[in-house]
């Protein structure tokens, strides 16, 4: 069985889903906000990601000066944010565990083949990291 899109009844798997992500110095209203803020080196630059919609955060993240090690750390940044979103004992963690062994695929139409799958192509890193968090929650 597959969940092939983080929409509809599975929208809560999306990084746009509202949840509080506590960073080392700020609190963000979604995983997307937290992830985009992590691209920035300076606290002043990260602060702009504490408000607005997740779509606005994603758009703003396209215009920041990205930290030099971003390509090396971005998967770990995402994993950390997902662990915070799906904290053991939370309602979201229970929902993630309830997916059992279902393969989670972040299917999309916007061409993201790194975090997801578009037109059958992609690395699906978001889905893979979610399944890792689910495995960790089971232990």
Average pLDDT, the chain: 97
Number of domains the chain is built from: 1
For helices 125-138 and 70-85, what crossing angle results, to 10°? 50
pLDDT tens digits for range 68-96: 999 999 999 999 999 999 999 999 999 99
Overall average pLDDT of the 40-56 stretch: 96
User: Taking the model in full, what pTM does it have?
Assistant: 0.95
| CATH code, domain with 53 | 1.10.357.40
- Residues 77-106: b if buried by 16+ CB within 10 A, e if exposed: bbbbbbbbbbeeeeeebeebeebeeeebbb
The sign of the torsion formed by the CA atoms of 80, 84, 85, 90 equals positive
**What percentage of residues in the chain have a pLDDT greater than 70?**
100
* d(C-alpha 81, C-alpha 26), whole Å: 13
Domain coverage including residue 75:
2-138
Q: The tokens of 28 are what?
A: 């963000």
Contact of 125 with 114, CB cutoff 8 Å: yes
């Amino acid at each position: 069985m597959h969940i092939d899109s983080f929409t509809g009844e599975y929208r809560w798997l999306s990084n746009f889903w509202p949840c509080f992500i506590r960073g080392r110095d700020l609190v963000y209203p979604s995983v997307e906000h937290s992830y985009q803020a992590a691209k920035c080196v300076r606290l002043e630059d990260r602060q702009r990601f504490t408000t607005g919609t997740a779509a606005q955060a994603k758009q703003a993240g396209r215009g920041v000066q990205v930290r030099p090690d971003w390509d090396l750390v971005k998967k770990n940044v995402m994993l950390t944010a997902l662990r915070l979103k799906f904290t053991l004992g939370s309602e979201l963690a229970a929902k993630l565990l309830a997916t059992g062994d279902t393969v989670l695929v972040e299917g999309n139409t916007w061409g993201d083949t790194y975090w997801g799958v578009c037109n059958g192509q992609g690395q699906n890193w978001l889905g893979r990291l979610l399944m890792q968090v689910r495995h960790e929650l089971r232990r």
